[in-house]
Amino acid sequence: MKKMVLKSAVLTAMVTLFFSANLSAQSQGGKGQKEPPSVDQIFKEMDKDEDGKLSKEELKGPIKDDFDTIDTDEDGYISKEELEKAPKPKGRKRE
Protein backbone atom coordinates (compact mmCIF):
# COMPACT_ATOMS: atom_id res chain seq x y z
CA MET A 1 0.00 0.00 0.00
CA LYS A 2 2.81 2.42 0.90
CA LYS A 3 4.59 1.63 -2.38
CA MET A 4 1.43 2.41 -4.34
CA VAL A 5 0.99 5.76 -2.58
CA LEU A 6 4.66 6.60 -3.13
CA LYS A 7 4.46 5.71 -6.85
CA SER A 8 1.32 7.83 -7.23
CA ALA A 9 2.96 10.78 -5.48
CA VAL A 10 6.08 10.55 -7.65
CA LEU A 11 4.02 10.26 -10.84
CA THR A 12 1.89 13.23 -9.85
CA ALA A 13 4.98 15.30 -9.08
CA MET A 14 6.57 14.41 -12.43
CA VAL A 15 3.43 15.32 -14.39
CA THR A 16 3.11 18.59 -12.48
CA LEU A 17 6.75 19.50 -13.14
CA PHE A 18 6.41 18.66 -16.83
CA PHE A 19 3.38 20.89 -17.32
CA SER A 20 4.74 23.76 -15.24
CA ALA A 21 8.05 23.69 -17.14
CA ASN A 22 6.19 23.64 -20.44
CA LEU A 23 4.02 26.63 -19.45
CA SER A 24 7.07 28.49 -18.18
CA ALA A 25 8.90 28.01 -21.48
CA GLN A 26 5.92 29.33 -23.40
CA SER A 27 5.57 32.41 -21.22
CA GLN A 28 9.29 33.17 -21.59
CA GLY A 29 9.23 33.31 -25.36
CA GLY A 30 9.07 29.76 -26.59
CA LYS A 31 8.09 28.95 -30.16
CA GLY A 32 4.59 30.24 -29.49
CA GLN A 33 5.82 33.80 -28.95
CA LYS A 34 3.96 36.13 -31.30
CA GLU A 35 5.15 39.56 -30.27
CA PRO A 36 8.68 40.79 -30.96
CA PRO A 37 10.83 41.76 -27.97
CA SER A 38 10.46 45.30 -26.65
CA VAL A 39 13.17 47.91 -27.08
CA ASP A 40 14.02 47.54 -23.38
CA GLN A 41 14.36 43.76 -23.78
CA ILE A 42 16.65 44.21 -26.78
CA PHE A 43 18.86 46.65 -24.89
CA LYS A 44 18.97 44.44 -21.81
CA GLU A 45 20.16 41.51 -23.94
CA MET A 46 22.50 43.26 -26.37
CA ASP A 47 23.94 46.31 -24.57
CA LYS A 48 26.94 44.40 -23.20
CA ASP A 49 28.79 47.43 -21.83
CA GLU A 50 25.55 48.93 -20.44
CA ASP A 51 26.24 52.39 -21.83
CA GLY A 52 22.65 52.90 -22.99
CA LYS A 53 23.45 52.63 -26.69
CA LEU A 54 24.19 49.80 -29.09
CA SER A 55 27.36 49.63 -31.15
CA LYS A 56 27.54 47.51 -34.29
CA GLU A 57 29.86 45.09 -32.46
CA GLU A 58 27.20 44.41 -29.81
CA LEU A 59 24.52 43.53 -32.33
CA LYS A 60 23.47 40.45 -34.24
CA GLY A 61 20.74 39.47 -36.66
CA PRO A 62 18.43 41.88 -38.49
CA ILE A 63 19.33 44.85 -36.29
CA LYS A 64 22.99 44.49 -37.22
CA ASP A 65 22.07 44.06 -40.90
CA ASP A 66 20.04 47.30 -40.80
CA PHE A 67 22.44 49.22 -38.54
CA ASP A 68 23.12 52.07 -40.99
CA THR A 69 19.40 52.57 -41.61
CA ILE A 70 18.50 52.57 -37.90
CA ASP A 71 21.41 54.86 -36.87
CA THR A 72 19.70 57.98 -38.20
CA ASP A 73 22.05 60.49 -36.53
CA GLU A 74 25.05 58.56 -37.91
CA ASP A 75 26.99 58.65 -34.64
CA GLY A 76 27.95 54.98 -34.85
CA TYR A 77 25.48 53.90 -32.16
CA ILE A 78 21.80 53.03 -31.97
CA SER A 79 19.91 54.76 -29.17
CA LYS A 80 16.64 53.56 -27.69
CA GLU A 81 14.86 56.39 -29.50
CA GLU A 82 16.34 55.36 -32.85
CA LEU A 83 15.40 51.73 -32.28
CA GLU A 84 11.84 52.69 -31.30
CA LYS A 85 11.47 54.63 -34.57
CA ALA A 86 13.07 51.91 -36.71
CA PRO A 87 10.88 50.02 -39.17
CA LYS A 88 9.75 46.72 -37.70
CA PRO A 89 11.12 43.61 -39.41
CA LYS A 90 8.63 41.50 -41.27
CA GLY A 91 8.11 37.93 -40.14
CA ARG A 92 10.07 35.20 -41.82
CA LYS A 93 8.35 33.45 -44.66
CA ARG A 94 7.66 29.79 -44.18
CA GLU A 95 9.03 27.51 -46.82
Residue 13 Cα to chain centre, angstroms:
29
Residue 94 in this model has a pLDDT that exceeds 70: no
**Inside any domain, residue 32:** no
Q: pTM, whole model, 2 decimals? A: 0.58
**Inside any domain, residue 81:** yes
Q: What is the pLDDT of residues 40-71, one digit of tens each?
A: 999 999 999 999 999 999 999 888 999 999 99
Q: Output the average pLDDT for the chain.
A: 79
Range 77-86, long-range pairs (CB < 8 A, 24+ positions): 77/53, 78/53, 78/54, 79/52, 79/53, 80/39, 80/40, 80/43, 80/52, 83/39, 83/42, 83/43, 83/54, 84/39
**Inside any domain, residue 93:** no
Confidence of residue 33 (pLDDT cuts 50, 70, 90): low
- Output the domain CATH number for residue 53: 1.10.238.10
The domain in which residue 48 lies consists of 37-88
